[in-house]
Amino acid sequence: MILVTGSAGFIGANFVLDWLAGGDEPVLSLDQLTYAGNLENLASLEADPRHTFVHGDIGDTALVARLLAAHRPRAVLNFAAESHVDRSIHGPEDFIQTNVVGTFRLLEAVRAYWSGLPEADQAAFRFLHVSTDEVYGSLAPGAPAFTEAHACAPNSPYSASKAASDHLVRAWHHTYGLPVLTTNCSNNYGPFHFPEKLIPLMIVNALVGKPLPVYGDGQQVRDWLYVKDHCSAIRRVLQAGTPGETYNVGGWNEMPNIDIVHTVCALLDELRPKADGSRYAAQISYVKDRPGHDRRYAIDARKIERELGWKPAETFASGIRKTVRWYLDHPDWVAHVQSGAYREWVQTQYAA
């Protein structure tokens, strides 16, 4: 059995679904079900005996200790995080509590469990921590992409909290010997993505005729990774990664945000054309840039390909088409996640 934290979020849910689609090893899921944690993401597993869901917080040391003792997982995969930069600017404390304090308490519970295992089980155990390329800061145009040796230089409360959690994971390996693995991924996209992030926000706003808000000049560059490729990379790192090592996971798809928006609009023009023949790109609206907006991220994913034989299967063209199609095919999911609180957040965030 494996324990997956943050299992009802975007990447965590995709990982759980992908894991159980590819094998029969059971999954114990733990999620606090904050605004972005959605049990509908795991609805297809409701009657699956291989999956056990627990509503709880990674910062609840007693709960985590009980789960570890009762289920005795061979690995813990930590997806649990507050992850939206805009929200971290408006309310950083939640990010410190979940990403820093929560990771610390999870590490301590796992360390106590791991220390009591037989020697062979200790050697086989893994703690895999899922992180972000944002911990590395911002790149100048033309600068080499982030490698695993790149110094941390986080620029937002979110990325600073994730960098802190990465450092804690590293320290628990070097100080206590806990067999950890860390992955730092680029921007994910795909099914079940909460519609406050760029791609799903553009899709859902476009379909209902709302403005498509683009920060600043839209020339911020990101490397885009299809979420199912990310899941396959994590499986490979868990299987064959070297304890104590960090692996960057990217899609080799550097694109400016405005190009992403135009790509989404063009796909919607094709797959869900407007009755009046107008183009979705006409809804693009430039808004004031967010404070401290990093200009460029780019992942050098050669280490994971060289050492573990992993590389992404999807191009951006194939992945974004699958993503747009998924949102068109799941209007009920979209409607259910757009609560009153979500609508208020979007209205406040993009009012300017």
Cα distance between residue 124 and residue 110, in whole Å:
14
User: Contact 75/238 with Cβ under 8 angstroms?
Assistant: yes
Q: How many CB atoms lie within 10 A of CB 219?
A: 14
Element (H, E) at 256: strand 254-256
- Name the token pair of 104: 């610390």
Give 185's strand partners: 132, 249
Separation of alpha carbons 18 and 231, rounded Å: 7
Element (H, E) at 174: helix 157-176
Q: Which residues neighbour 57 within 8 Å (Cβ) at sequence distance 6 or greater?
A: 32, 63, 102
Residues noted as catalytic: 133-134, 158
Instruction: Compute CA 105 distance to the chain's CA centroid, rounded to the nearest angstrom.
Output: 21
Residue in the structure block whose two tokens are 């992942």:
299
Instruction: Find all residues with CB under 8 Å of 206, minimum gap 6, and list them.
Output: 212, 264, 265, 268, 280, 283
Q: Which residues of 187-216 are buried (b: 16+ CB within 10 A; e: fewer)?
A: bbbbbbbbbbbbbbbbbbbbbeeeebbbbe
Strand ranges for 94-203 from DSSP E: 126-132, 180-185, 187-189
> What 3-state class would DSSP assign to 30?
strand
